Amino acid sequence: MRGLLRAQGQQVLFYSSHSFGFVSLAQVDVSTPPCTGWNSPVFDIAPDPQSSYNRVILSLSDGDVLVFTTVSGKNKEKTCDLTMKFPRVASLPFRLHSARGHAIGLPTPSESTKQPQDYNRDLYFFNMAAMETGSGFGSSGSRNVALQASFEPRQLQGFDMLSTSVGSSSSMSSSSTSKTHIALRFGEGIELYELTLKTASASLGGGGGGSGGSSDGGGGFASWLDWIPKFGIFGMTLIGVVIWNIRKVTGSKQNQSSAGGGGLEGLDGLDDDFLQKLREKKRNKAASDKKTGGDDDFSMPDLPSRGADKAPDVSGLSDSLGSLGDLGLGGVGDLKDQLGAMRAEMDQLRASMPAGFDD
């Protein structure tokens, strides 16, 4: 056995030089057969807490870094699948830690390494999401290594991770935030730093050169959304809903005014049956007027006999004009000529009346 590490629930991760597995503390037994299959001995191992400890990162003595998945499928079936391999960036094996979707590794010489001070001792932050989607491999700039921290001229001897919860709590409710600190060990002592690390996502590594992405390796529209706060997205959505409701209410009011405004544009809403009935009524009225002489044979009303009332009775004239109005818009065109002829006949009647009749 090389070491024991914490795993999910009441399980403990154990590893040897060529195998690793999980033992249940409740059952005091190994739940599944250990994973194996590599040639170089294990130098260090780091489970990934972000994946519920279902992903294990192995650092081999020859400098390779392998990633195994121990659970797959919707049914959470136990398995041991090799899912990815880190790019070779150092000749020394790595001391590993996992935090927020990143694998943090430090090239560390072994006891048999000659002249260890001549080797690179930078701290590497590997983006797991970029390597998992394959976007870190291509002709464009790689996103596999999110950060490479150098401390020259000092040499980093080792490091460790520490997570603490800070905040206020009460008997009714509690609120706290988690802070991550990293302890760096140099030859002259230990230094403690606060580590601000954004959780890696697949969109951050969307600049894969093989898929024709942009040269700067940007994540496109999805990467922009990562920088917009949630309340900003909610505000834009709310504004869109309000504008849509205003346009909907305004459009309904315009339709109501055009349909019931009393103008000619309101006739567009009439159906064909109603218009057909109006045309039929107009034709029947015209036919009845022809029989009675109400249209073509426009006649003056009978004047009273001499010696009766001095003023002529024009009630018949009103009835005749009313019959013209019943014909609709089609009979108005001839109204001017009819009135002209009527005025001439009235002048003739006035001329033929005896003197003093107008009194």
Residue spans of the domains in the chain: they are 3-165+177-208, 234-266, 270-352
Task: List all residues 6 or more positions away from 153 whose beta carbon is below 8 Å from its beta carbon.
Answer: none
Closest CA to 123 of 147, 144, 141: 147
pLDDT of residue 76: 81
C-alpha separations of 64 from 41, 53, 61, 116, 122 in Å: 10, 21, 7, 18, 17
**Backbone CA torsion sign across 306, 309, 310, 315:** negative
**pLDDT for res 206:** 39
For 210-233, letters b (16+ CB in 10 Å) and e give eeebeeebbbeeebeeeeeeeeee
CA end-to-end span of the chain, whole Å? 141
By CB neighbour count within 10 A (0-12 exposed, 13-18 middle, 19+ buried), where does 94 fall? Answer: buried
pLDDT in tens, the chain (359 residues): 889 988 888 889 999 999 999 998 888 888 788 999 999 999 999 998 877 788 899 999 999 999 999 888 788 888 899 998 998 888 899 999 988 888 999 999 988 888 888 888 899 999 888 887 765 555 555 678 888 999 888 889 999 988 776 654 444 444 456 788 899 999 888 999 988 888 766 543 334 333 333 334 444 455 555 556 666 777 888 898 889 888 888 887 776 665 554 444 444 554 567 677 778 888 888 887 776 655 444 444 444 444 444 444 544 444 554 554 554 444 545 666 777 777 787 777 777 666 555 55
- Residue 22 DSSP code: E
* pLDDT, tens digit, 9 for 90 and up, residues 131-189: 877 655 555 556 788 889 998 888 899 999 887 766 544 444 444 567 888 999 998 88
Tell me how crowded residue 80 is: count the other CB atoms within 10 A of its CB.
Answer: 19
Residue 296: the pLDDT is 46
Q: What single-letter DSSP state applies at residue 44?
A: E
Amino acid 125: pLDDT: 92
Output the average pLDDT for the chain. 74
3-165+177-208, which class in CATH?
mainly beta
> Which residue has tokens 């599944």?
32
The pair phi, psi for residue 153, each rounded to 5°, is -85, 0
* Residue that has been written with the tokens 């309000």 in this structure: 242
The pLDDT of residue 322 is: 52
Helix, strand, coil % in the chain, rounded to nearest 5? 35, 30, 40
Give the span between the Cα atoms of 227 and 348, in whole angstroms.
96
Residue 14 CA to chain centroid, in angstroms?
45
Q: What is the pLDDT of residue 122?
A: 92
